[in-house]
Structure formats: structure tokens, C-alpha cells
Amino acid sequence: MKHKSLQLMLLLGLALSGSLAYGQGSLGHNTKKARTLEDYKPFTLKNIAAKDSKRDGLLPFRVRVIFEGSARPISKTSNDALHHWAQCCAGSPDSYTKFYFNEMDFVENGVVYWLPVQDSLIPDLQRELKPGEAVDLFLIRVSARRTNGKRSSVLLVEKFQRVEPNNDHAKESLNWIKVNLPSYSDKKLKVEITGPCQLRITDSSSRAGVSKGIIWINLIGFEPSKVSVGPQQVRGMWELSLHTIADKHAIRFMLYQGGPAEGGETNKYSLTIPVKEKAEAMAEGFRRAINVCAVDEVAP
């Protein structure tokens, strides 16, 4: 799966209002206090990256992301940040550095983040999760100021937990598309929910040579990062485009042209929307539905 990658080498941090005296958990020799799941505060990777760090220390976070499954050696930027913090603030320099040699890719809202993961967790992640499934990551952000005054930070994955299915999220997301897509588009559309994460879109607009078109889409096979909005050649119109994951046959179509119907499969579906703000809102609605469908093991 191709994404626009965002390397999470966090030269950033978090303004802290409380104490940073969290223990080293199971990793350290001088354990002060083992972290519980409640210690990890719900956040997003995007918001963590947007925060400003003003103090050295360690903070635990919990984020929900999509598992991709690939692993590679830890980047130099993350490794340097980890070693600098360990030397500065960890007490025993190898309390953390000896556990993080690789990083894995996870997706949040279509953006790829490469995060260092404890080596002992990687086999469990790859065994228990499939690419495209959701996972809660329990991670810590460590941060320290360098001698040149700049701050280096890195996120370290300590634990993970599979996300339990939630059919209501998928139904809510699909229903929002069903209700709003006909009014947002410039076409005469009818949208039906035909199954878990499945939509049937009937286009009865008058087009040259086509009396009616029907599109069946299975959102589980779509790529959220490839939902895009761009200006169309027709002035004042905006094109909303949906693309499937490579090798996924998630779009079927049937065109009625006055004679025998012509049908088949395609990997792209586009709609024109007159108002840019509505096109962008619909794009975000599809991204949300695609992510939810990838997360939930939706039952009929």
C-alpha cells in the first residue's frame, strides 16, 4: 500500500503541566512504578506532533491506528534521539536502547508513521494482526534538549491491543454518506447501503449515451489516502475521486445505454460536486468510512 509517508522523527514535544516521574516499567532496572494501561492518555499522532515540548521527560500516550505490517531498522534520527535521551535522563543508558532496533509503519487518517517498536512485540503484532486492521498502541514520548539548544524527541511503542469490532461506527459513517451525497453532488443520485461497508450508487442523470449508471463499492477495498478533491476542467466544479487498494476489485459498474447493459470492474470512481467545501467534507466522510470499515470486522 502506497501512502504519502510522514516520518515521525519528533523534533517536537509536549508542554507538560504535571509531574514526569513515571517509572521505567518492565524495561528498566531501577523500576519506580510499572505503567498501567490507564497511565496512557488517549491522543492522536497528529496532535502529538503538533505539541510543543518545553521540558525533558517521558509521557505515555494511547493512539488508535491502522496496522500495516512492514518493519525496517530504526531510522538514524529516531535512534539518535533515543540514545540522547537515554544518556541524559533514563538513569541506566541501556534501559531502553537495547529494546528498540526496528520500527514499523502504522496509518492514521491516511498518513503513514514509522514508529520504533520493542523487538519482542514485533512477532506478536505480525501474528495477531493483518494489514488494514486497527490497533491501539501504548507508547511513550521521550524528549531531551541537546547542547545546541534544540530538542529531540521520539515515540516508542511499549504495548498494543487489538480493537474490538464496533458495528455502530460503520453504520453511522455509511449513513452519513447516504444522506448527504445526493444533495452535495450535481447529479441525480440514489445511495443505498446494501451490506456491511457496501454502497450502491445509482446515477440517473442525463448523460450523452447513458440513461443510467449503477456503481457498487465495497469500502473495505479502498485506500483512504487516495480519496482526493481537485478542480475539474469544467469551471467551478470539484472532482471527488476514490481509488481502490492495489489489486482490490472493490468497484463494479453497470451502464445502461439504451441497449444491452455494459458492466465491469474499475479501480477509480469520481463524482463532481459544485461547492469545494462540500466536496472536501464528502472526501473526509469517505475517508472516515473507509478507515472504520478497515477497523471493524463488520457482521451482516
Q: Work out the mean pLDDT of the chain and round it to a whole number.
A: 78
- Using the 3D structure, point to which of 162, 184, 215 is the last residue of a domain: 162
Q: For cell 536502547, what's the residue?
A: 97
Determine the pLDDT at residue 28.
Answer: 39
The number of distinct structural domains making up the chain is: 2
Task: Please indicate, yes or no, whether residues 139 and 208 belong to a single structural domain of this protein.
Answer: no
Class of residue 148 by CB neighbours under 10 A (exposed 0-12, middle 13-18, buried 19+): exposed
Give the CATH number of the domain where residue 211 resides: 2.30.29
Could you list the residue range(s) of the whole structural domain that residue 151 is in? Answer: 37-162
Determine the pLDDT at residue 292.
Answer: 82
Segment 83-97, tens digit of pLDDT: 888 777 766 666 677
Provide the residue count of the chain: 300
Is 3 part of any domain? no
Alpha-carbon torsion (75, 122, 129, 160), positive or negative: negative
- Using the 3D structure, point to which of 162, 184, 210 is the last residue of a domain: 162
Is 23 part of any domain? no
Say yes or no to pLDDT of 108 above 70: yes
Q: All 3 cell numbers of residue 116?
A: 520504533
Task: Please indicate, yes or no, whether residues 155 and 171 belong to a single structural domain of this protein.
Answer: no
Task: Please indicate, yes or no, whether residues 289 and 186 belong to a single structural domain of this protein.
Answer: yes
Say yes or no to pLDDT of 295 above 80: no
Is 108 part of any domain? yes
Is 234 part of any domain? yes
- List, in order, residues 6 or more apart from 224 with CB less than 8 Å away: 107, 109, 110, 286, 287, 290, 291, 294
Is 75 part of any domain? yes
Higher pLDDT, 204 or 273: 273
- Using the 3D structure, point to which of 106, 139, 162 is the last residue of a domain: 162
Task: Please indicate, yes or no, whether residues 185 and 123 belong to a single structural domain of this protein.
Answer: no
Is 123 part of any domain? yes
Q: Place 167 in a pLDDT band, splitting at 50, 70 and 90.
A: low
Task: Please indicate, yes or no, whether residues 175 and 288 belong to a single structural domain of this protein.
Answer: yes
Give the CATH number of the domain where residue 98 resides: 2.40.50.140
Is 31 part of any domain? no
Q: Work out the end-to-end distance of the chain between its first and last CA atoms, rounded to an integer number of angstroms.
A: 27
Task: Please indicate, yes or no, whether residues 145 and 188 belong to a single structural domain of this protein.
Answer: no
Beta strands in the chain (DSSP E): 41-42, 57-73, 102-108, 111-117, 134-145, 151-162, 189-195, 198-203, 212-218, 228-231, 238-243, 251-256, 262-266, 268-273
Task: Please indicate, yes or no, whether residues 183 and 272 belong to a single structural domain of this protein.
Answer: yes
Segment 5-35, tens digit of pLDDT: 443 333 333 322 222 222 333 343 344 567 8
pTM of the predicted model over 0.85: no
Alpha helices in the chain (DSSP H): 45-50, 76-89, 94-97, 122-128, 167-184, 276-295
Is 30 part of any domain? no
Task: Please indicate, yes or no, whether residues 229 and 281 belong to a single structural domain of this protein.
Answer: yes
Task: Please indicate, yes or no, whether residues 123 and 175 belong to a single structural domain of this protein.
Answer: no
Task: Please indicate, yes or no, whether residues 157 and 172 belong to a single structural domain of this protein.
Answer: no
Whole-number Å distance between alpha carbons of 48 and 35: 19
Task: Please indicate, yes or no, whether residues 127 and 153 belong to a single structural domain of this protein.
Answer: yes
